[in-house]
Amino acid sequence: MPHTDRPDIAARLAQLRQAMRRQQIDALMVPSSDPHLSEYLPARWQGRQWLSGFTGSVGTFIITADFAGVWTDARYWTQAETELAGTGVQLMKIPSGASVLYIDWLADHLQAGQTLAVDGAVLGLATARLLAQALQAKGALLRTDGDVLDEVWQDRPALPAAPVFEHTPPHADLSRAAKLAALRLAMREQGASHHVLSTLDDIAYLFNLRGADVNFNPVFLSHALVDAAGATLFVADGKVAPQLRAALAQDGVTLAPYADAAAALAALPAGAVLLLDPRRVTHGTREAVPAGVKVVEAINPTTFAKSKKTAAEAAHVRQTMEQDGAALCEFFAWLEQTLANPQRAPLTELDIDRELTAARARRPGFVSPSFGTIAGFRANGAIMHYRATEAAHATIAGDGLLLIDSGGQYLGGTTDITRVVPVGEPTAAQRRDFTLVLKGVIALSSASFPRGTRSPMLDALARAPLWAAGMDFGHGTGHGVGYFLNVHEGPQSISPTAMPEPHTAMEPGMITSVEPGLYRPGQWGIRIENLVLNVDAGSTEFGSFLRFETLTLCPIDTRCVDLALLRDDERQWLNDYHATVRARLRPHLAGDALAWLERRTEAV
């Protein structure tokens, strides 16, 4: 959805306040959410963006008669300050995307008898409980029975209609029947007769299906209800072709209209035991469950299952990384040649996205980008989730650092990589910053740790070199990555703001990013990102250990490295990594791209 014009924001807020007065609503909250609690939203549920003009992927919008604000975390502060300027919407800074400080604000500002409205269909159950508790203490009311946006958003987008398709062998290693059998075993262990799923990547994983309803994530709008004998997939009519419908039926999967999911829950028989994940269903979904049904709350078993890639899936990911790395080599060879040509047309950040996507599209198995490419030159690189647009982008000229964060969706895996390259000659300060970030990458990538270590505990390993220099960065160090699924997935998260709960334990087969960074607003940003795989590191009398296998294959630009800051073992890690990159990518390249690879992987 394009960024809205600022004059429209004031008009929309005025219309919204009128609707609130008519409905006797004192405050309205619009989360960045849909009925599936997705990270990236179909256009229909991008109400927070439509109302505020803030285009970041994380934020909570709240409006009262005399206030409007968006709560978002440090990754988006610079972007939000720019996009919200002059709109009448305030930026409310929070420490992380998981923060619920807006609930504290509501509790402070709402009076007894006043009403907060939130669309229960998109309000996470866990958040709804925190809201209800805070408002009850103030004597304020929570309404979740309607969507006020429907009254004021006249041209609201319809539901997406992209077809659903099957993820097939050899890339789909486990059959649908095998995944359903494993899920039913987990349900029995929880004492559940039924299980409801609303998170789109869980559903896509379970049924070996993919779609294109959400930008960059190959998922489709749906809910699922599984019992001991069969499963119902709630998906819009016309999205599943007859042949695929028949294949699903052979595995005991029936289709029902997307809108019928709540009614199916309401029709569960008395005595049924329903397993649901309170962090992955909405308040509206929970409200549909009859009082006579016992509810067991636990993490979706599929969340664990899809995070632990099989040996065959890991092999496909390695092959995908070779293709992705080769595409990156072709792109970077083109970039250096283009920048060195004095006769060229001006190069912009938009050209980076276009050429990089084109290089990936030439590779077998490529489906789409895995997220919107971040190409930030100079000060734009310091905006952590920067996105160049036709209206606002930089020309790449003169000396500076260029940060490129990009990824691809392939039939055999999902990629996510960040590299920083110098345009012109990097300064000593830039090389120092880059090298400290690289030391963090090396420290975490080289670690061994006990199996079951809670992933947030690993975060400090990547920050230690920066902390020692009095520096830090305002985002997590690593996120889980799906298998031809969402580029962000759990349950693991290497982050100082994530709680080290039991479900965050590191297990073999998990793929996680390693991406420390350093950002100097108005000057430059640095982030180096690889994906790593949890693999066995042997056992001792203290138990089983894991280590990381680095999956990403692309040179790290040594022109930005201050070698005097690297220990001998860190130099060895970098040289070993580059030797692996060269050996693995060389068979896929020729000509200028091969020459670029050879040059950029020379030992230091």
Instruction: Please list the alpha-helical segments (H only) found in 446-494.
Output: 459-468
Q: Is 70 exceeded by the pLDDT of residue 338?
A: yes
Q: Is residue 139 a contact partner of residue 114, using CB atoms and an 8 Å limit? A: no
CA angle 497, 499, 501 (to 5 degrees): 160
Q: Does the structure show a pLDDT above 60 at 7?
A: no
pLDDT of residue 97: 62
> By mean pLDDT, which of 285-294, 320-329, 379-388 is the weakest?
379-388
Can you say whether the dihedral through the CA atoms of 170, 176, 181, 186 is positive or negative?
Answer: positive
184 assigned to some structural domain: yes
**What's the first-to-final CA gap in the chain, in angstroms?**
45
- Percent of the chain surpassing pLDDT 70: 99
Q: Are 298 and 271 in contact (CB under 8 A)?
A: no
Residues 352 and 251 in one domain: no
Number of domains in the chain: 3
Helix axes 349-361, 311-340, angle to 10 degrees: 130
CATH number, domain containing residue 284: 3.40.350.10
In whole angstroms, what is the distance from residue 71 CA to residue 362 CA?
40
Domain end residue (candidates: 258, 283, 303): 303
Domain boundary among 128, 152, 176: 152
- Model confidence pLDDT, tens digit, residues 122-177: 999 999 999 999 999 999 999 999 999 999 999 999 999 999 999 999 999 999 99
Do both 279 and 330 map to the same domain?
no
Domain final residue pick, 123, 152, 181: 152
Q: What are phi and psi of 520, to 5 degrees?
A: -115, 100
- pLDDT tens digits, residue range 179-188? 999 999 999 9
Instruction: Look at residue 392 in the predicted model and tell me its pLDDT.
Output: 87
Q: What is the pLDDT of residues 21-74, one digit of tens each?
A: 999 999 999 999 999 999 889 999 999 999 999 998 889 999 999 999 999 988
Same domain, yes or no, for 533 and 390?
yes
- DSSP assignment, residue 235? -
Same domain, 132 and 171: no
Say what the pLDDT of residue 6 is: 55
Q: Which of 320-329, 387-396, 481-490 has the lowest mean pLDDT?
A: 387-396
CATH of the domain at 326: 3.90.230.10
Q: How far is CA 306 from the centre of its chain?
A: 15
Say yes or no: 234 and 357 in one domain: no
Query: Quick one: pLDDT band at residue 1, thresholds 50, 70, 90?
Result: very low
Is 402 among the domain residues?
A: yes
Q: Find the range with the poorest average confidence among 55-64, 263-272, 534-543, 544-553.
A: 55-64
313 and 292 within one domain: no
Distance from C-alpha of 343 to C-alpha of 164, rounded to nearest angstrom: 47
Give the C-alpha separation, 220 to 82, whole Å: 33
Tell me how crowded residue 140 is: count the other CB atoms within 10 A of its CB.
Answer: 22
E-strand stretches of 106-263:
115-117, 141-143, 165-166, 194-197, 209-210, 223-227, 231-234, 253-256
Q: Cα–Cα distance between 83 and 56 in angstroms, integer?
A: 10
Q: What is the pLDDT of residues 423-472, one digit of tens each?
A: 999 999 999 999 999 999 999 999 999 999 999 999 999 999 999 999 99
What one-character-per-residue DSSP string does 252-268 give?
TEEEE-GGGHHHHHHTP
- Cα–Cα distance measured from residue 19 to residue 148, given in angstroms and rounded to the nearest whole number: 7
CA 192 vs CA 65, 206, 226, 424: distances in Å? 46, 18, 10, 62
- DSSP strand pairing (141-143 vs 524-527): unpaired
Whether 57 is covered by a domain: the verdict is: yes
In a domain, 567, yes or no: yes
Q: Are 332 and 352 in contact (CB under 8 A)?
A: no
Residue 487 DSSP one-character state: S
Q: Does residue 565 form part of some domain?
A: yes
Arithmetic mean of pLDDT, 203-225: 96
pLDDT tens digit string along 187-197? 999 999 999 99
Same domain, 211 and 324: no
Closest CA to 27 of 154, 115, 126, 124: 115
Contact (CB, 8 A) for 194 and 183:
no
Same domain membership, residue 338 and residue 415: yes
407 and 322, same structural domain? yes
Share of the chain above pLDDT 90, in %: 90
**Cα separation of 293 and 272, whole Å?**
5
Helix (H) / strand (E) element for 422: namely: strand 417-423
Average pLDDT of the residues in 333-339:
95
pLDDT of res. 3 = 44
Same domain, 242 and 327: no
64-114 pLDDT, tens per residue? 999 999 999 887 888 889 899 989 999 999 887 667 889 999 999 999 999
**Do 134 and 273 belong to one domain?**
no
- Judged against a pLDDT cut of 60, whether residue 4 lies above it is answered with no
User: What pTM value is reported for the model?
Assistant: 0.92
Whole-number pLDDT of residue 91: 95
Asked whether residue 160 is domain-assigned, the answer is no
**Do residue 169 and residue 126 come from a single domain?**
no
Residue span of the structural domain in which 205 resides: 165-303
C-alpha separations of 291 from 146, 269, 274 in Å? 22, 10, 11
Q: How far apart are CA 25 and CA 85, in angstroms?
A: 26
**φ, ψ at 406 (rounded to 5°):** -150, 170
3-state secondary structure of 542: coil
Model confidence band, residue 385 (pLDDT cutoffs 50, 70, 90): confident
Q: How long a stretch of residues is the chain?
A: 604
| pLDDT computed for residue 225 by the predictor | 98
Helix/strand/coil for 209: strand
Q: How much of the chain is helix, strand and coil, in % rounded to 5?
A: 40, 20, 40
Q: Is residue 157 part of a domain?
A: no
Q: What average pLDDT score do residues 581-594 get?
A: 98
pLDDT score at 100: 84
Mean predicted lDDT score pLDDT of the chain: 95
